Amino acid sequence: MGSSLTVKGIFNDIFSFLNGRKEFDLATLYDVYQDQPLFLALIGNLDEAAKIPYNDAMMECYDFYKRYRDRPLSDADWDAIVDDIKMITDRWQGNRWCRSVLLSLLGVLETQDKEYRQSAGTSEGGDSGQSAVNSNMEGSAGQEEALAA
């Protein structure tokens, strides 16, 4: 699930679904995205999503993803990713839904990073971010046009 187009499509479709902008039901989305961890994160814990301004949280999560997508990530990038996830999680007061979406996006970034490194024949950086963020997260309790960017 390393494709930025897949991530963009999932965010746009969930945004449209949650805001009633398109006439389709959750079953239709499930048929399309059932194997995508990001989709499952976005539809999971919807009771938690309802506790925060979920459109704003989704936009912030997607903006986070766009900052790091489609390129190999350095150790400095992984440090910044850890800091960004902590900042976003804190802003949304440790909301489980938001945290789940961020961790899913972290997995996407890690997959993309590994794919870029494999195609370039290098293994620097790589998966150091996943374990660092997960350990930091353990203790932590927009609009459609913007998502289309």
For residue 96, give the amino acid letter.
R
Closest CA to 79 of 71, 69, 68, 94: 68
Q: Please, which pLDDT band fits residue 139 given cuts at 50, 70 and 90?
A: very low
- Residue 129 near residue 106, CB atoms below 8 Å: yes
Structure tokens at 88: 């976003």
Overall domain count for the chain: 1
User: What is the arithmetic mean of pLDDT over 6-21?
Assistant: 93
Cα–Cα distance measured from residue 15 to residue 23, given in angstroms and rounded to the nearest whole number: 12
pLDDT in tens, 30-68: 999 999 999 999 999 999 999 999 999 999 999 999 999
105 or 123: which leads in pLDDT: 105
The 8-class DSSP code of residue 70 comes to S
Query: What is the value of pTM for the model shown?
Result: 0.80
Mean residue pLDDT across the chain? 84
Residue-range definition of the domain harbouring residue 87: 4-148
